[in-house]
């Protein structure tokens, strides 16, 4: 056991390998292609392959082949075991020693609605805007939804606003915002933070106060498809429908009765399209 832990810690001690593992943890439960990993971390293909092989050898990630492409996913059970050993052995299971900092702030309102939820994508012009509008409509009595982008556009896409209006959503307050706005001390504390595009999930996460549950629901970007007008309209509607399905499943969760682990698993299941 100790040899395995030492090897895992040694693998994570390399800055680039740690960056790679953190990327796969942020994208969980998705699997990420070797090419996307190399592009995101600005690595040469052969260098990325070496780093991936090292992390696989110590059991921290898994590899799957789809056709001619290789995809990688973090091994959550291995990471859980590693953290467990560090906490239970090295820290003698004392949270006052090991569990400190902003991630451990308690929220007095943790078990009671209304819950604040932040949707994040790249430009905050389509997917996250849709998600904000949908949740504020179908979950208005229990949730307050917000959205932001890591590189926000000047405003929501015209096609998105038109579609939301046609679906009966209030669009008067929908604007494109920078995610940094929600890391300020005056910002509302989030109970949930969900990324809805892969690029946003690939970026380093801000340090969120209040220990929000975080998840990734990656969806194709309808803005950047190369298609006819009718095909583009269909892409926006498909994105809207996919978000509506996920958010209806989310709204139906008995959040008040679930512990953090069960709630995290439920959000990951929604990401995979698994019924709650």
Q: Which of 257, 250, 187, 170 is nearest to 217 (CA)?
A: 250
User: In the structure, what pLDDT confidence band is assigned to residue 140 with cuts at 50, 70 and 90?
Assistant: confident
DSSP 147-173: EEESS--SS--HHHHHHHHHTT---TT
Whether pTM exceeds 0.85? no
Question: Where is mean pLDDT largest: 107-111, 134-138, 220-224?
Answer: 134-138
Q: Answer whether the bond into residue 114 is a cis peptide, omega within 30°.
A: yes
Q: How far apart are CA 175 and CA 146, in angstroms?
A: 10
| CB-CB neighbours of 229 under 10 Å | 8
Note the pLDDT of residue 230: 81
Q: What is the pLDDT of residue 109?
A: 43
228, pLDDT greater than 90: no
Centroid of chain to Cα 19: 16
Q: What is the DSSP letter of 234?
A: H
- Contact between residue 169 and residue 132 where contact means Cβ atoms under 8 Å apart: no
Specify the long-range contacts of residues 260-266, CB closer than 8 Å, at least 24 apart. 260/213, 263/213, 264/213, 264/215
Mean residue pLDDT of the chain comes to 87
Condensed to tens digits (0 to 9), the pLDDT of residues 112-130 reads 789 999 999 999 999 999 9
Tens of pLDDT, residue by residue over 75-116, are 988 988 888 777 766 665 555 556 554 444 444 444 578 999
Mean pLDDT of 13-41: 94
Question: Distance between CA atoms of 12 and 5, rounded to whole angstroms?
Answer: 11
- Order of strands across the sheet that contains 69-74: 32-33, 69-74, 61-66
| From 143-147, 201-205, 242-246, the region with the lowest mean pLDDT | 201-205
Residue 269 scores a pLDDT above 70: yes
Q: What is the pLDDT of residue 93?
A: 53
């Amino acid at each position: 056991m100790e040899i395995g832990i030492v090897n895992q810690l040694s693998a994570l001690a390399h800055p680039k390998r740690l960056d790679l593992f953190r990327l796969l943890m942020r994208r969980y439960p998705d699997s990420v292609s070797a090419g996307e990993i190399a592009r995101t971390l600005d690595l040469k293909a052969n260098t990325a392959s070496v780093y991936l092989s090292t992390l696989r050898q110590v059991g921290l990630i898994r590899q799957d082949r789809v056709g001619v492409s290789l995809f990688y996913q973090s091994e959550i059970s291995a990471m859980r075991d590693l953290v467990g050993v560090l906490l239970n052995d090295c820290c003698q299971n004392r949270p006052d020693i090991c569990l400190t900092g902003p991630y451990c702030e308690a929220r007095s309102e943790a078990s009671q609605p209304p819950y604040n939820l932040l949707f994040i994508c790249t430009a905050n012009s389509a997917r996250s805007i849709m998600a904000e509008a949908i949740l504020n409509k179908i979950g208005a009595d229990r949730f307050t939804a917000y959205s932001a982008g890591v590189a926000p556009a000047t405003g929501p896409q015209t096609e998105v606003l038109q579609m939301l209006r046609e679906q009966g959503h209030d669009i008067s307050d929908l604007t494109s915002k920078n995610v940094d706005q929600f890391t300020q001390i005056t910002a509302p504390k989030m109970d949930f933070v969900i990324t809805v595009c892969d690029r946003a999930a690939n970026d380093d996460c801000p340090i969120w106060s209040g220990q929000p549950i975080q998840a990734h629901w990656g969806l194709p970007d309808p803005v950047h498809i190369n298609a006819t007008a009718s095909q583009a309209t269909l892409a926006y509607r498909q994105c809207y429908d996919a978000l509506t399905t996920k958010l209806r499943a989310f709204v139906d969760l008995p959040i008040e009765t679930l512990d953090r682990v069960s709630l995290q698993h439920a959000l990951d299941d929604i990401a995979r399209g698994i019924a709650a």
